[in-house]
Amino acid sequence: MTDDQRTPHLSDAELLAYLDGELDEELARHVERSTVYRERLQALARQERRLAANLYRGTCPDAHELGEFHMELLAPERAALITQHTDICPHCALELRELQTYLDELAPELEYSFLERVRVFIARLIPDVPNLGGAQMPVPVLAGMRGEAGGPLLYEAGEAQVSLEVQDDAARAGHKSVLGLITGVDAAGWQVVLWQDSKQVQALEVDDLGNFVFEVLPPGAYRLVLRGNGVEIVIQDLAVK
The answer to whether position 229 is within a domain reads: yes
Residue 4 domain-assigned (yes or no): no
pLDDT digits (tens, 9 = 90+) for 76-118: 889 899 999 988 888 888 888 888 877 777 654 444 444 445 6
Same domain, 141 and 87: no
Whether 144 and 95 map to the same domain: the answer is no
pLDDT tens digit sequence for 112-165: 444 445 678 888 887 764 444 444 445 454 444 333 445 688 888 878 889 999
A 10 A CB-CB count for 199 gives 7
Q: What is the pLDDT of residues 10-21, one digit of tens each?
A: 787 777 777 777
| DSSP-derived pairing of the beta strands 231-240 and 119-122 | parallel
Query: Measuring CA to CA, which residue among 224, 148, 155, 171 is closest to residue 193?
Result: 224
For the entire predicted model, the pTM comes to 0.58
Domain that holds residue 176: 125-240
pLDDT band at 176 (very low <50, low <70, confident <90, very high): very high
Considering the domain boundaries, does residue 27 fall inside one? Answer: no
Give the whole-angstrom CA distance, residue 66 versus residue 122.
9
Most confident of 55-59, 158-162, 197-201, 215-219: 215-219
Sign of CA dihedral 104, 109, 110, 113: positive
Based on the structure, what is the number of domains in the chain? 2
